[in-house]
Structure 1
Amino acid sequence: MNTRKRQLAMTALGVATLAITAVGTQGAPPAPPWFTWTTVVNNGDFMPTDSCVPTAPSTPPCRTFNSYNQPSVNANQVVVIRARSRGGQGGQAVHGVYTRDMAAAGPVVRILDRSTLVPQPNNLDSTFIEPPSFPRIDIGMDTVATRGNHQPVWRYFLDDVTETRAGTTGVYTNPFGDLIAGASKLGAVPDFSFFEVPEAPGTPFDVFPGAPAVTDGATIAFKGNYPVNGVGKTGVYYRDLENAPIPLSADNLEPAGGSNPVVLIANSLDTFIPGTRTIFGSTAPPSAANRQMVFAGFDNEDKPTLGGIYLAPLNGTTQPPLRTLVAIGGQVPGENSKARFNRLGEGVSFDGRFVAFWGAWGTEKKTLVLQCRTEGNADRVAFCNQQHPNGFITTVPVNQGIFVHDLGTRQTQVVAKTPADYDDFVYWNFSGRTPGTGEGDDDGELARWRSASFVAVSGLVDGTLTDATFHAAFKARTGILMSGTYAEPVDGIYLREGPGKASLLTLVETDMDGSLIDPEAVDDLGAALPVTEMGIERDGFRGNSLVINASMGTEETGWAGIYLTEVPE
């Protein structure tokens, strides 16, 4: 276990170090927060819907927000979130995607929910069922990108006059105001061939795993899966959208994004891993900024021996030359010459110059025994317990860390490592589709245990990307591992300025006084609720704005919300 003290080490801000007083400790009250948090939305806010009248919330019934995924933010302080209400508040639970302009202290705006018509093409009046991953936003503009699942949206006839229905998922965005389809599972429909897999004409994408990115106001970047002769393939792509209708022989469809085709960057069909004669075996959902894409790709997703993190220009070139930023087998900065990366995380954060990622090295492993949650989606909890009644056994690397690569200097810097700073950066979640339901996260696969690390980088805290200064925020755990379980673990989101060895700053930790983040996080007697969970995603830190989701107390009797803070230079 590391020896890091749980303190607000404020050397980088020129402020004396003060310890956080634990919740329930007698004596002096908790130290004031060094980062001032503003509520974006919390459990007390009504969800914007067609039927809700907030001034008369009981007639008809309004629903309040209840649970949240990790939010994204742009440099203009526009926050986008995926959120849900409870069920039973006058009907089915509301699931949707929402934005709020925090710079203008604007209202919460609905992008889509289960009552929203899927944009054109849609001749079946289908509405959304679920946004299955966290939404993202352009770093410099207010364009949002999100996945959406729904019933088939298009009815058409084959040459033999057989009626066919297609289109059950897609990528949706709003570069021109109205929501439009940026990518869709309609590539096999002759009128919509621009949606097809570019390297496999006539083949529709099967699913768009993970979260799509958006850059340059009207360009979406995404991962797509598709079958070739019964074998699943995957790749990373982008599409430039236009403020133009989709032309049809009978009638033009609008609002829409025009008919520019999807452009291939790299795939597992015929793209070689740079410097090798090996085809990519997997690719990860990309990040994008400044008309550039960054993504992770490997020969073998589970046990990579080749691959890395790559940069590609979005300049209209199909399968452009890829620039290797970090490679499997590359030297781990700050370690001896034998320390080489053998694992790299898929959740890469990118702001146009800096690339933040998780990496591991060495052969040492530690064993974890993961237990199913007791709260949350009842069907998923039951399915988890059915599959893993005695827990799920897995391993994580002993040696792992958070790093930032600078495109300008071409250097990779250490942000934090195990065991010197923390004990773990890998988090586990049982997620996905439960049997017999159409709802779920990620790629539509049956629910299973998945791992992820969480980091976000911003080189724009000082307003410019021309220097080598960046700030990186990440999630980490400290605790003693006993029989595969962390004893009294402390999870938190932490911040470090780089390059260099500036002190690590605490943004939020478990057991911290939740009222320091949200004054409404108190129980019925007015006592502050402790922070129990928190999250940050790859687009959660833009400019000097950093957003998180946080929960206080228990899911049934506690409080939760989305919160924003401004990071000083």
Structure 2
Amino acid sequence: MHRLSTPACGASRAHPFVRCVLPLALLVPGLAWGATPTATVGARWQTVANNGRFMPSATCVPDGPAPTAPPCRLFNSFNQPSVNTRGLVVFRARSKGGGSQGEPLHGVYTRDMAKGGPIVRILDRDTLVPQPNNRGTTFQETPSFPRIDMNSSTVATRGAHPPVWQVVNDAGEVVEQVGTNGVYANPFRDLVTAESRLGSVPVFSYFQVPERPGTAFDIVPGSPAITQHDIVVFKGNYTVGTTSKTGVYYRKLMNAPFPMSSGPSLYPASGTLPTVLIANTDSYIPGTSLHFGSTAPPSAAGNQAVFVGLDNEDHPTAGGIYLATLNRSQPPLKTLVRIGDHVPGEDASQHFTQIGEGLSFDGRFVAFWGAWGEGTQSLLLRCPQDGNADIVAYCNQQYPDGHAVQTPVHQGVFVRDLVRGRTWAIAKSPNNFTSFVYWNFSGHVPGSTTEEDGEPARWRSTAFVAVSRPANPLLASLGLFRAAFKASTGTLNNGAYLNAVDGIYLRNGPFASPLRTLAATGTDGTLLDPQAVDAETGGHLPITSLGIEREGLRGDELVINASMATDEAGWAGIYRTKLLW
């Protein structure tokens, strides 16, 4: 593997331990970081899955006797993957659809890259939703990227589907059909329901909104986290009368059946421990007399979770990043970073005005996006050209001429150290990059039957950053970390980027170290995947898009998704590299 060395830390051949001299940057606040990313480093990438691999399914075992299509289908597109410290990768992917192929196959898959194992199907559209399910319902969609426990093989994913449970009266008549989305995990090998929109059914009261007995969650938006092998942590939305509420919750799963008041117990299942409240929109923002106006999907590691809570999601004046220990209902919240805190490396007058909701957390370090200052730039968003047909059509109906938004001039990615109680700047704009923010149009389209009933379709922005301690215990004990993130360079002119380049970049911390380019658009796609070649011309395909998520870096494991294309040919895949100091 390519060795990512630093001038401060290195390995001695004469001694198996690592020698590390902490440089002045650890001791002197505000010491300048390298401003310009280095050329693409020679990371050795391995293919987890790509367009040349068949998707495992109910009718296809790709690693068995020579598969054919149909019934086998090739992977076509991939969302951002997650990985644990042992090299087990989980990702969401889909096949092509249309014509004789019918509807595309969607699913969640894993592959153990440490052992070079096969791609394993966790669930797809042919998979029965686990109990409770008395209607034989199968999954329809997994709307968000799946996540994996940092130190175990447990995977958690959000799932959408038609109703799973029909309620009957004493006469045996069906009076209600409920349960159209939930959280699903595999802590005990079989897939189980970790949380579900079934809390209004008395026999399934452990799924209810804990502060509102008898109330079911409307939806679990975003991507749920999994930690300690069997604790799922999630954001939940619900309605009281005509008022929308939201909060952050957790539930400990057990390898135990769901007991029924009549008939046999349901199994495999996740036991009857109730859902537990961390904080909601009736909770006060610590240190203020204001309630949370919004909460964001959490991240979790060990027995702790972190989340962003704000008084006003669009124009925050209070709130920030909060830490909770998963040991009781409404645990005391520890404030890590607040709206109004000083921005590291800036003069004393500069304070955070925005904090992004996508947090990466490894138990000690929290990585996040933040913005400051009043300067903005206008960006014209264009509707997607491919993807879910209903969303594409609805976006074009609402925004036929595009949608103008204002993006902050001053923004960056940061890492908070829970032990030192200090926040480090990793990269900023306009110093290092033009922007760290990316936009997409997503959500529920009115009248659509192909998307779950949930948050309305709208433009959403996010930043992508991941942080982790190194796997080496000695390096970890010294408080070292790596942060990987996605960022753009280019000139913004009349609402559009000129000569834009997106890249995945890496920085070691907390000492001053150079920015390293792991991959960038416009570069040779065969650096990631030897198969990224035009089959007709033999020409190498350039990288056209890249993705990383908050659990794309764990220990020494780093995973990304990428697409490579020209006007005539295209390729895509999931790729993994192992980082060394």
Q: TM-score, normalised by structure 1?
A: 0.92
CA displacement at 1:56 relative to structure 2: 4.0
Q: Tell me the residue number matched to 2:210.
A: 198
CA displacement at 1:435 relative to structure 2: 4.5
Change (3 A) 1:482 1:59: closer
CA displacement at 1:555 relative to structure 2: 8.8
Mapping of residues 97-108 of structure 1, within 5 Å:
97-108=108-119
Structure 1 residue 450 corresponds to structure 2 residue 460: yes
Q: Tell me the residue number matched to 1:494.
A: 505
Structure 1 residue 297 corresponds to structure 2 residue 306: no
Q: Tell me the residue number matched to 1:23.
A: none
The AA in structure 1 aligned to 2:525 is: G
Structure 1 residue 364 corresponds to structure 2 residue 375: yes
SS of aligned partner of 2:467: strand
Structure 1 residue 123 corresponds to structure 2 residue 131: no
Structure 1 residue 219 corresponds to structure 2 residue 219: no
Mapping of residues 318-333 of structure 1, within 5 Å:
318-333=329-344
CA contact (8 A) 1:375 1:555 kept: no
Mapping of residues 255-274 of structure 1, within 5 Å:
255-268=268-281, 270-274=282-286
CA contact (8 A) 2:37 2:515 kept: no
Question: How large is the Cα RMSD of the aligned pairs?
Answer: 2.1
Change (3 A) 1:59 1:540: closer
Mapping of residues 33-432 of structure 1, within 5 Å:
33-54=41-62, 55-58=65-68, 60-88=70-98, 90-157=101-168, 163-249=175-261, 250-268=263-281, 270-315=282-327, 317-432=328-443
Deviations 1:148-185 (A, max 9, x none): 00111111135897621110100000000000000000
The AA in structure 1 aligned to 2:455 is: E
CA contact (8 A) 2:37 2:514 kept: no
SS of aligned partner of 1:174: strand
CA contact (8 A) 2:38 2:516 kept: no
Equivalents in 2 of 1:361, 1:555: separation in Å?
A: 39
CA displacement at 1:371 relative to structure 2: 1.6
CA contact (8 A) 2:466 2:553 kept: yes
CA displacement at 1:309 relative to structure 2: 0.1
CA contact (8 A) 2:38 2:515 kept: no
Q: Which ranges of structure 2 fall in alignment gaps of 5 or more residues?
A: 11-35
Equivalents in 2 of 1:554, 1:259: separation in Å?
A: 53
Q: Tell me the residue number matched to 2:555.
A: 543
Q: Which ranges of structure 1 fall in alignment gaps of 5 or more residues?
A: 1-7, 21-30
CA displacement at 1:376 relative to structure 2: 3.5
Identical pairs, percent? 58
Structure 1 residue 462 corresponds to structure 2 residue 472: yes
CA displacement at 1:365 relative to structure 2: 0.7
Equivalents in 2 of 1:248, 1:377: separation in Å?
A: 38
Q: Tell me the residue number matched to 1:26.
A: none
Which is worse superposed, 454-463 or 359-368? Answer: 454-463
CA contact (8 A) 2:218 2:454 kept: no
CA displacement at 1:420 relative to structure 2: 0.8
CA displacement at 1:59 relative to structure 2: 6.1
CA displacement at 1:114 relative to structure 2: 0.4
The AA in structure 1 aligned to 2:334 is: R
Equivalents in 2 of 1:566, 1:370: separation in Å?
A: 35
The AA in structure 1 aligned to 2:84 is: N
SS of aligned partner of 2:167: strand
Change (3 A) 1:291 1:556: farther
Equivalents in 2 of 1:217, 1:187: separation in Å?
A: 24
The AA in structure 2 aligned to 1:208 is: V
CA contact (8 A) 1:115 1:128 kept: yes
Deviations 1:215-260 (A, max 9, x none): 0000000000000121000000000011111111221110001000
Aligned length: 547
Deviations 1:93-141 (A, max 9, x none): 1000000000010110000000000000001110000001000000000
